[in-house]
Amino acid sequence: MKELDPLVFLAVFQEMLGPLLWVLILLIVLGTLAFVGLLLKEKTINSRRLVRAELAGLVGGALALVLMAKVSSSGFTDAGGPADWFLIALVFGLGLAGTAILVYTFMGWRKPVGQ
């Protein structure tokens, strides 16, 4: 593979995740728009809400690893080299960050600051 083709990645993720891929993409797009809207509305980051969202992000990172193990043909015991462990850490980190952003946004729109 001499060049990176985004359509190849899309095809691989579609094969691995099936319809869940489109649900996750929709969740990412809507969550990002809601997060940006919340930041524009509040003009600040609420630290208490952020800490709670980060704690929930730990659960999201673990769930991302579970999803990765379910959709791939290998498990964590098959990780052999540094690239495998880097990918596992990357999946955990993306799950953690994505969940933290979604939880922060949900809590922000659910209950305004100061109430």
CA–CA distance, 109 with 35 (Å, rounded to integer)? 9
Q: Would the pTM of this model clear 0.95, i.e. be above it?
A: no
The answer to whether position 102 is within a domain reads yes
Q: pLDDT tens across 93-112, in order?
A: 999 999 999 999 999 999 75
CA 87: distance to chain centroid? 14
Task: Please determine, for residue 52, whether its predicted confidence score (pLDDT) is greater than 70.
Answer: yes
Is residue 37 assigned to a domain? yes
**Number of structural domains the chain divides into:** 1
Residue with tokens 């052999």: 80
Residue 74 has pLDDT above 80, yes or no: no
pLDDT of 34 reads 96
CA distance 38 to 27: 16
Domain hosting 98: range is 6-110
- 111 near 103, Cβ under 8 Å? no
Q: How confident is the model at residue 113 (pLDDT cuts 50, 70, 90)?
A: low
Whether 92 is in a domain gets the answer: yes
Per-residue pLDDT at 26:
95
Is the pLDDT confidence value at 73 over 80? Answer: no
Assess if residue 1 is contained within a domain. Answer: no
CA 82 to CA 4: how far, in whole Å?
21
Which pLDDT value is given to residue 70? 86
